[in-house]
Chain A
């Protein structure tokens, strides 16, 4: 079975500071993809960043980076220089390529509050 765990229901960060959102996963699939999505209060999920299980380097997309530690099965999202518009729900997600079928599974999410 595959599982995503996000242990931080809520996080606060001061504007312009960096914040790390935790994600651990469990899968027996040797090949998988990890994703982070943002869901603002408007409700629409927005893709942020992707990391493949065989990628040697951590993924980066602008202010977002994914701290991928394969042995620990963690895929933490780092947001640098937080902005007020970063306040939202953040979901970690995974798709097992060989055994996960066609679905992407999501964690319960972390709500991020950016303070001015």
Chain B
């Protein structure tokens, strides 16, 4: 497995346009996360999937943001009517349920992709 893959790596768009990012997790991982990271800050949680079910969404995720994970495999994050404040690195991570991985319950180790950098002009 080549790890977590994210596309596109860079996206420049004009304010008001829609953008979509794709994440392909490690194939055996059942958990998938989206984070947003702005310059000089740590990643901020956006949303989480267990298999195909979206189980948690941050209040950061306004109604312009939507994420899907059809069939529990790849995931997409769509931002509608982009704003300049949406400019950030969007990180995807996946993990295997610690119970399935044979580790302690808290050891939910995330494997991150390289991220998709969004610039909104």
Q: Which of A84-116 contact B (CB under 8 A)?
A: 91, 93, 95, 97, 101-109
Give complex CA distance A21, B73 in Å.
36
Query: Do A106 and B42 touch across chains, with their CB atoms under 8 A apart?
Result: yes
Give complex CA distance A104, B55 in Å.
14
Q: A47-B111, A95-B108, A97-B106 are in contact. Are A102 and B42 (CB under 8 A)?
A: no
Give complex CA distance A46, B110 in Å.
9
A57 at interface, CB cutoff 8 A: no
Q: Which of A38-64 contact B (CB under 8 A)?
A: 42-47, 50, 52-53
Interface size class of B (residues with CB under 8 A): 20 to 34
B88 at interface, CB cutoff 8 A: no
Which among B14-22, B43-51, B64-72, B77-85 touches the partner chain? Answer: B43-51
B31 at interface, CB cutoff 8 A: yes
Query: Do B41 and A102 touch across chains, with their CB atoms under 8 A apart?
Result: no
Give complex CA distance A45, B104 in Å.
22
In the assembled complex, which residues on chain B have CB atoms less than 8 Å from the CB atom of A32? 106
**CB within 8 A of B107: which of A50, A91, A93, A102?**
A50
| Shortest Cβ distance from residue A65 to the other chain B in the assembled complex, whole angstroms | 17
A35 at interface, CB cutoff 8 A: yes
Q: Which residue of A lies closest to B4 (CB)?
A: A44
Q: Which residue of A lies closest to B98 (CB)?
A: A33
Q: Which residue of B lies closest to A105 (CB)?
A: B45
In the assembled complex, which residues on chain B have CB atoms less than 8 Å from the CB atom of A52? 104, 106-107
Give complex CA distance A43, B6 in Å.
12
Query: Do B43 and A45 touch across chains, with their CB atoms under 8 A apart?
Result: yes
B93 at interface, CB cutoff 8 A: yes
Query: Do A43 and B56 touch across chains, with their CB atoms under 8 A apart?
Result: no
Query: Do A108 and B106 touch across chains, with their CB atoms under 8 A apart?
Result: no
Q: A50-B107, A101-B56, A102-B48 are in contact. Are A108 and B41 (CB under 8 A)?
A: yes
Chain A interfacial positions (CB closer than 8 Å to B):
4, 31-33, 35, 37, 42-47, 50, 52-53, 91, 93, 95, 97, 101-109
Chain B interfacial positions (CB closer than 8 Å to A):
31, 33, 35, 40-45, 48, 50, 55-56, 58, 89, 91, 93, 104-115
